[in-house]
Amino acid sequence: MKEELLSLTPQELTETMRALGEGAFRGRQVFSWLHKGASFEEMSNLPKALREALAGRYDAQPVSILDTVTSKLDGTVKLLYRLRDGHVVEGVLMRYHYGNTLCVSTQVGCRMGCAFCASTLEGCARSLTAGEMIGQIVCANALLASRGEQERVGNVVLMGSGEPLDNYDNVVRFLRLLREEDGLRIGMRSVSLSTCGLVPQMRRFAGEGLPVTLSLSLHAPNDAIRRRLMPVAKAYAMDEVLAACREYIDKTGRRAIVEYALVRGVNALPEHARELASRLRGMRVHVNLIPLNSVPERALMGVSEAEVAAFLGELRARNISATRRREMGDDIEGACGQLRRRYLQENRE
């Protein structure tokens, strides 16, 4: 396979251009083109011989769109992307009044094994490169442009398939590329990183100087329940996870989000809400209650709206900031990993 350029920083691209006998300014030119989604052929301010030399050695765009499904209700778009080695990952483009948010995948599948999640059913095939994460945004931007939209992707949530902190170096590289002046220019305040709670990586990430919003997938008020839903809870106790979350909040000055999917018969009773409130007391967090998307392969069920409201009421009565997550694209398969699974099943037969 050819080498990929989209993972490189402007400085690294400058070195690459120098090695080809080109002037240093070519690095920034190529960087800017790549992040606009251009092929080498389209890089009109480069000499033809250079474009051909690059095309012979490198792939300009490591991601392409395989399929899209658009919601008639709210314009949410589910995207299925193809990577160069034939793997597929998915994403969701959400249209909010404040702009376009893209949900980006960080791995092909996931090895964290959460009981409710479709992304983990077949384990993790591999981690994505930084360029493959950038490439998802580049593809979504091209889709928006092709539909005559003025705005591009302005916000990014690392909530697609994969555990971002299990692909630490590539994710950090991706975040640094994201804010480049000649690239996508997406600032860290417009990014959320969701983690199942890998404590050492959370601590390390707090020191990177990348003040994204940390989203912690907690899903339980205590260790016993958390271990039933999330194998990672066997490695790290909730106290440690919450301490690492506090450290992140203190170092970055940013409020964190606690994700909590309500699962019938497991974590959704009023007493669980009260226990959660006591665990989170004094922390600068907002709780996002997620109605469970049931995954046919998993025998877990969500709860009724009345139960969501009761849970929310218990939290608010204890001064915990909380909301029920708005569902997007209810008429398309909005849930984690499900479009991809269907695609894989259909293409296996």
Q: For residue 331, report the phi and psi dihedrals to the nearest 5 degrees.
A: -90, -10
Q: Quick check: helix, strand or coil at residue 281?
A: coil
Measure the CA–CA gap between 170 and 126, rounded to whole angstroms: 12
Q: How many CB atoms lie within 10 A of CB 92?
A: 27
Measure the CA–CA gap between 160 and 335, rounded to whole angstroms: 10
Cβ 328 to ligand SAH shortest distance, Å = 13
Measure the CA–CA gap between 77 and 87, rounded to whole angstroms: 20
Cβ 116 to ligand SAH shortest distance, Å = 4
* Catalytic residue annotation: 90, 336
What residues make contact with ligand SAH under the rule CB under 6 A?
112, 114, 116-117, 159, 163, 194-196, 217, 259, 261, 290, 292-293, 295, 335-336
Complex with ligand SAH: residue 116 or 236, whichever CB lies closer:
116
Complex with ligand SAH: residue 117 or 130, whichever CB lies closer:
117
Complex with ligand SAH: residue 29 or 194, whichever CB lies closer:
194
Half-sphere exposure of 345 (CA within 13 A, CB side): 9
Residue 57 in tokens: 């050695």
Complex with ligand SAH: residue 84 or 254, whichever CB lies closer:
254
Please report where in the chains the tokens 């690239």 appear, as a residue: 183
Cβ 53 to ligand SAH shortest distance, Å = 39
Cβ 239 to ligand SAH shortest distance, Å = 19
Complex with ligand SAH: residue 5 or 110, whichever CB lies closer:
110
Of 193, 188, 267, which Cα lies nearest the Cα of 227?
267
Measure the CA–CA gap between 261 and 229, rounded to whole angstroms: 10
Cβ 110 to ligand SAH shortest distance, Å = 6
Measure the CA–CA gap between 32 and 329, rounded to whole angstroms: 32
